[in-house]
Amino acid sequence: MVLLDDMGMALIRGRGWQKVAVAIAMAVLIALNLHGVLAADGGSGAAATVISEAGPSGLLGDFDGNCTVDILDIMQVACRWQTSCDNPDPDDDPDTPNYDALYDVNNDCVIDIVDIMLVAAHWGDTCPWVSGYVWNDDNGDGVRDEIEGGMAGVTIDLYCDNDGDGVLDPDDTYLDTQTTAEGGSYQFGDLSPGDYIVQVTDTAGVLTDYALTTDNNPLSVHLGEGEAYSEADFGYEAAAYPT
């Protein structure tokens, strides 16, 4: 803990690349040596409090809103080091912004090493997302082989499965449409935990002469806290015509 305190002071007194280097070193130290302890029992004292504030993305600890708890979030907290409710700018340094309760993770009215540790305990957490491929299933077996290419330009809709029954109902809420890229990939990002329905709509008619081989359109997906689903794949085989 003494080492971490010293590193925290270096973040205040350092300039430019020095602050970045110290912040990275602190994050690595915490991630490697403290994450297991914090994840298991929350540490001791004030560190036992869980994160109660969410960043712009809605993810706990994602203060910069990039949908991942990472070094940038550690630095966001570190740059506010030692600010407090009673003394919001103790060193009159414009590089250390005034007290902001969002970064006071354990709500003890002081932005300190405990807050950095609590953010580090959520290291690697990401917003839920759904992704997959639409591919040309040449042999029609419903399995994507390495030699089978993706299909670009296919539209796919995402719905909120409001009643969680796994069936696309009129009452389910439409959320977004994505179009497959070159290679057939697509992704719906920055989602909340819950139940969803993925449906291939193909409004451009790319799949007009193809038949579904995976028997999963529409597809029901459940996302838990911080979970992602990357196997929302749809295979299509070219229709056979008599010769």
> How does pLDDT run across 59-94, given as a tens digit for each residue?
778 888 888 888 889 888 888 888 888 877 777 777
pLDDT higher than 50, residue 222: yes
Task: Identify the residue with better confidence: 109 or 203.
Answer: 203
How many CA atoms within 13 Å lie on the side-chain side of 185? Answer: 5
pLDDT digits (tens, 9 = 90+) for 1-56: 444 444 555 454 444 544 554 555 555 555 544 444 333 333 333 333 344 567 77
- The top-level CATH class assigned to 129-238 is mainly beta
Dihedrals phi, psi of 2, to nearest 5 degrees: -60, -40
The predicted pLDDT at position 106 comes to 85
3-class DSSP assignment, residue 186: strand
Across 67-71, 110-114, 197-201, the highest mean pLDDT is recorded for 197-201
pLDDT digits (tens, 9 = 90+) for 121-149: 888 888 888 999 999 999 999 999 999 99
The predicted pLDDT at position 53 comes to 63
In the chain, list all ranges with CATH 2.60.40.10. 129-238
Tokens of 187: 């992704």
DSSP-assigned beta bridge partners for residue 212: 236
- In this prediction the pTM is 0.60
Where residue 207 falls among pLDDT bands split at 50, 70, 90?
very high
Q: Distance from CA of residue 83 to its chain's centroid?
A: 28
